[in-house]
Amino acid sequence: MRLSSYLDTTPVIGHKVYLHPSCQVIGDVTIGEDSSVWCNTVLRGDVNRIVIGRGSNVQDLSMGHVSHKTPDKPDGSPLIIGDYVTIGHSVILHGCSIGNECLIGMGSIIMDDVVVPDHVMVGAGSLISPGKTLEAGMLYMGRPAKAVRALTGDELRYLRYSAEHYIRVKDNYLRGGTS
């Protein structure tokens, strides 16, 4: 089953969203219009909320989760993903915030309370430690990830292109896989 309620919360799915039959979307999860969640991905909004913006994609085998609210941290750590974001294969996102038009490379891990602003590329296999705030317009790589350099104009344009490409792919799936 792709969609599951948790206690009194049920996923809210926007218009023209594609959810692959093998994905799991649980609890307090909101997915914006034109977004997609791919094969064997899990988005578990049980103890806090997950919000995914418009035109974003969460690719195969990725996992999104959250941290619960406490007296010391009344908002906990929700997972917020902006508009036109590409989350690569096998990414772990836990209680972090991803801005608009970002690309998170395959196999990366982004931990609690990390803030990734708009227009950031995180290289494959990177680890971003809890509580870090990245700088917009930069490429981050490594374990732990560090800013490597500013993104080029072509790379900045590619961030939006990548998300728009996945919109076209999910539209093909919604039409039954035909072109």
Distance (Å, whole) CA 123 – CA 104: 7
Task: Examine the pLDDT at 178 and tell me if it is beyond 70.
Answer: no
CATH 1.10.3720.10 is held by the domain 3-174: no
- Residues 4-62: pLDDT tens digits? 999 999 999 999 999 999 999 999 999 999 999 999 999 999 999 999 999 999 999 99
Rounded to whole angstroms, how far apart are CA atoms 175 and 94?
Answer: 32
- Give domain limits for the chain: 3-174
Q: Tally the C-alpha atoms within 13 A of residue 136's C-alpha that lie toward its C-beta.
A: 6
Place of tokens 């836990």: 94
Mean pLDDT, to the nearest integer, of 72-90?
A: 98
Q: Which of 156, 82, 90 is nearest to 126 (CA)?
A: 90
pTM of the model: 0.97
Give the model's pLDDT for residue 1.
64
Query: If you search the block for the tokens 């977004």, which residue do you land on?
Result: 35
